[in-house]
Amino acid sequence: MSQRRGIHVDQSDLLCKKGCGYYGNTAWHGLCSKCWREEYQQVRQKQIQDDWALAEKLQREEEAAYASTQGTQSQSQAAASQTHPAPPSLGPFSKFEEKKTNEKTRKVTTVKKFFSSSSSRTPKKETQEGRTISPSINRHTSLEMDQVSKDFTEFLKNLHKPGREILKQCRVFIMNVSSKKELKADELSECVQDFYQNMADRLTGHFKGSSESVEQVMDQVEKYIMSRMYKVAFCPETTDDERKDLAIQKRIRELHWVTIQMLCVPIEEEIPEVSDKVVNAITDIIEMDSKKVPQDKLGCIKRCCKHIFSAIRSTKNEPASADDFLPALIYIVLKANPPRLQSNIQYITRFCNPSRLMTGEEAYYFTNLCCAVAFIEKLDAQSLNLSPEEFERYMSGQASPRFHSAEGEQHRAEAGATNPVLEQLNHNLEQLTGLIARQERLVEAAQSMQADLLSWPECVQREVDNILEEYPLEILPRTVAAIDAHDVDSDRLPHPLTPQVCAQ
């Protein structure tokens, strides 16, 4: 029996580390979205408190320095004030109070600040640009957004008054997002998640606890908002998502030599039905990058994983287990090398409806995908049951596991084992040999036909000349007989008419 080569994850490892029962995420250090937000809020509050403590400390130091400066100046001005009395100057103190007030009111961006109106000092031109959601979108994107808006409006018509309020809140939120260009990716994610939470709380009260109705509305809200925020939210310049994308693509290209046997994947690609499902799984995971809404990207992941389970079931003729699924998912990711993989994962993590990533089928598949990516990043010789020397040779391209030395073949022959990779290679070589022979015969036939076509006009001309030489053409003189001539041919003509005299 083949040994599992380091690719095994217990189901408990996929759950949140705080034991809440929801699925965790490597991007959140193994926590679910709920626990991660609580941790983030605690760290954020602590940072705010530290900032306030530092601001108060600096304020006290400035007050002490200002007081000492004022004491020195008051002594020097005492004599002058006796001869030239003047009202006390309040300019420096008022400036200090203004500075103190500005220092106290400076806070980290919160949802309350996020929904506040823009500063009056913001130029009008910048404000107008901020209100423009996508100033350079092409026609296809515009039509797609118009269709999303139309579908969202039609859906909200069934809710009557609450539907109008939801549409208004969504438009206000998008307008505020477009005007807050200084927000970082984590801050924007926090604002979106807070909006989801507030909207879900309101809908729960409206639908009186009907979670299914709430989820339906929240799915439409997410689709409407994220389709318009896609260019701002996906792979923003303030993050290192692009660098991570290039790193994981390079890593997967370096691991092109990893075979399905090394990962112990229970899939037989020689079976046409299984091969089709593998191709469909690869297509779905690649298609994820073309979607704009997090739930649509999760749908691609879900379809990909379902094809993997179906391929395993068709191969083993029994339901697939979790131990079989993760290695197969790793193999599919290695074969597909999906574009912008890390950016898509981060986009889903930041802006997807949190309930989708905590429970359910999609959360399970997404968590396994994150585990597969983490495994690929840390894949080493021990994970594939190889020696460090073999792993380095494969990584450097000096050797390939698809071609084995004579000693390895002899060892396998002595052990009575058959290498399926070598068998497939020999089968491919035989097919290539047959194709080469057929190609050669086809080329010979084509050349023979070409020669026949070139010689055919000469043969026809030669035959025509021979016939003309054997049977020359003779042109006899042609004689024209008079119509009244006494010859054989004129005997068959009627006699000429005799004139008759008519009586008067």
192/256 Cα distance (integer angstroms): 38
Of the candidates 383, 367, 387, the residue with the CA atom closest to the CA atom of residue 375: 383
Of the candidates 118, 136, 142, 139, the residue with the CA atom closest to the CA atom of residue 128: 118
pLDDT tens digits, residue range 32-68? 656 656 665 666 667 777 777 777 777 777 778 777 7
Running DSSP on this structure, what letter comes out for residue 23? B
* Most confident stretch, 87-96, 141-150, 441-450, 465-474: 441-450
> 25 forms bridges with which residues in the sheet?
31
Tokens of 167: 């549409």
Nearest 10 degrees: Cα torsion 282, 286, 287, 291: 150
Contact 338, 245 (CB under 8 A): no
pLDDT tens digits, residue range 285-305? 999 999 999 999 999 999 999
Higher-scoring residue by pLDDT: 377, 486? 377
Running DSSP on this structure, what letter comes out for residue 181? T
Instruction: Count Cβ atoms within 10 A of the Cβ of residue 326 and give its class: 0-12 exposed, 13-18 middle, 19 or more buried.
Output: buried
Q: What is the mean pLDDT of the chain?
A: 78
Identify the sign of the CA torsion 187, 193, 194, 196.
positive
pLDDT tens digits, residue range 208-220? 867 888 899 999 9
367/328 Cα distance (integer angstroms): 15
* Domains in the chain with CATH codes: 141-233 (1.10.246.120), 240-396 (1.20.1050.80)
Give Cα separations from 126 to 135, 170, 206, 211 (angstroms). 13, 22, 38, 41
Tokens of 416: 């009575």
* Lowest-pLDDT range of 62-71, 73-82, 352-361: 73-82
pLDDT tens digits, residue range 152-210? 999 988 887 888 899 999 999 999 988 888 888 888 999 999 999 999 988 888 888 67
Q: Tell me what percent of the residues of the chain surpass a pLDDT of 90.
A: 38
Q: What are phi and psi of 325, to 5 degrees?
A: -70, -45
The per-residue pLDDT for 473 is 78
Contact 348, 291 (CB under 8 A): no
Contact 427, 414 (CB under 8 A): no
Of the candidates 328, 320, 324, 322, the residue with the CA atom closest to the CA atom of residue 304: 328
379/367 Cα distance (integer angstroms): 18
Give the model's confidence band at 249: pLDDT under 50 very low, under 70 low, under 90 confident, else very high.
Answer: very high
Q: What are phi and psi of 23, to 5 degrees?
A: -75, 140
Give the chain's count of helices (H) and strands (E).
Answer: 18, 0
103/52 Cα distance (integer angstroms): 9
pLDDT tens digits, residue range 301-358? 999 999 999 999 999 998 888 889 999 999 999 999 999 999 999 999 999 998 888 8
36/358 Cα distance (integer angstroms): 11
* DSSP for 114-174, written as a single string: HTSPPPTTS-HHHHHHHH-S-TT--HHHHHHHHHHHHHHHHHHGGG-HHHHHHHHHHHHHH
Instruction: Count Cβ atoms within 10 A of the Cβ of residue 401 and give its class: 0-12 exposed, 13-18 middle, 19 or more buried.
Output: middle
Contact 394, 383 (CB under 8 A): no
287/150 Cα distance (integer angstroms): 25
The per-residue pLDDT for 480 is 60
Question: Would you tell me the crossing angle of helices 33-83 and 185-206 to the nearest 10 degrees?
Answer: 120
Tokens of 395: 């990584």
Three-class secondary structure of residue 109 per DSSP: coil
Identify the sign of the CA torsion 220, 225, 227, 228.
positive
- Alpha helix stretches (DSSP H) within 157-293: 161-179, 185-206, 211-233, 241-254, 272-287
The per-residue pLDDT for 115 is 45
The per-residue pLDDT for 503 is 73
287/302 Cα distance (integer angstroms): 12
Contact 47, 55 (CB under 8 A): no
Contact 156, 166 (CB under 8 A): yes
* Lowest-pLDDT range of 44-48, 109-113, 450-454, 472-476: 109-113
**Total residue count of the chain as it appears in this document:** 504
N- to C-terminal Cα distance for the chain? 137
Tokens of 419: 């290498």
Residue 190 CB partners (closer than 8 Å, separation 6+) = 37, 40, 111
